């Protein structure tokens, strides 16, 4: 899950005419960095441990900039839990896997249960919002890059 910034063929052709490979790379790096900043801000609202925010990363390869989550410590049931935060979950039951009961703290005391009915979570499509904002800002980032090249 993540945002992938790819150059459309026409845009790349236009960039080729406008400036060299260094200029194209600078534009993609600036777009990727801005997307990363926006993503960090959006993810920071969903953190208790900071793990999601620490695992958010970016990279630029060729004409592609990517913003995505590493899996370090973020795998729950074989799936990176950032997906659940982004897309949400349906109501479901939670059972203990390795113990006889689930345990958590509530009101300063431990609570035990053999099963919990989770109400589900509607999700927060933060990458969708970041992508929309990045699309709005892309022309200004492009203009600033062209002006500096």
Instruction: Report the percentage of the chain scoring pLDDT > 70.
Output: 80
pLDDT at 108 > cutoff 90: yes
131 shares a domain with 114: no
Average pLDDT, the chain: 85
**Which contacts of 132-138 are long-range, i.e. CB under 8 A and separated by 24 or more positions?**
133/38, 134/3, 134/5, 134/31, 134/34, 134/35, 134/38, 137/34, 138/31
Asked whether residue 79 falls in the same domain as residue 102, the answer is: no
16 and 47 housed in the same domain: yes
**Is the same domain home to 106 and 39?**
no
The label of the residue with tokens 């002006």 reads: 147
Do 143 and 96 lie in one domain? The reply is no
Same domain, 27 and 60: yes
* Each residue's pLDDT tens digit, 27-73: 899 999 999 999 999 999 887 888 888 889 999 988 889 998 888 77
Give the Cβ contact number of residue 31 at 10 Å: 23
pLDDT (tens digit, 9 = 90+) per residue, 5-26?
665 666 666 666 566 667 788 8
Total number of domains in the chain: 2
CB-CB neighbours of 27 under 10 Å: 24
Residues of the domain holding 117: 89-122
Residues 50 and 116 occupy one common structural domain: no
Q: Does residue 85 or residue 49 have the better pLDDT?
A: 85
Same domain, 82 and 110: no
Same domain, 84 and 33: yes
Structure confidence at residue 70 (pLDDT): 85
Note the pTM of the prediction, 2 decimals.
0.75
């Amino acid at each position: 899950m993540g945002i992938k910034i790819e150059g459309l063929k026409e845009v790349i052709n236009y960039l080729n005419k406008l400036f060299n490979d260094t200029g194209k790379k600078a534009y993609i790096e600036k777009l990727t960095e801005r997307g990363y900043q926006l993503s960090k801000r959006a993810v920071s609202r969903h953190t208790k441990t900071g793990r999601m925010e620490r695992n958010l990363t970016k990279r630029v390869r060729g004409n592609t900039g990517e913003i995505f989550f590493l899996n370090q410590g973020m795998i729950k049931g074989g799936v990176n839990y950032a997906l659940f935060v982004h897309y949400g979950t349906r109501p479901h039951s939670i059972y203990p896997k390795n113990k006889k009961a689930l345990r958590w703290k509530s009101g300063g005391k431990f609570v035990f249960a053999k099963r919990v009915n989770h109400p589900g979570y509607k999700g927060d499509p933060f990458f969708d919002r970041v992508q929309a904002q990045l699309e709005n800002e892309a022309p200004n980032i492009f203009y600033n890059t062209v002006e500096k090249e």
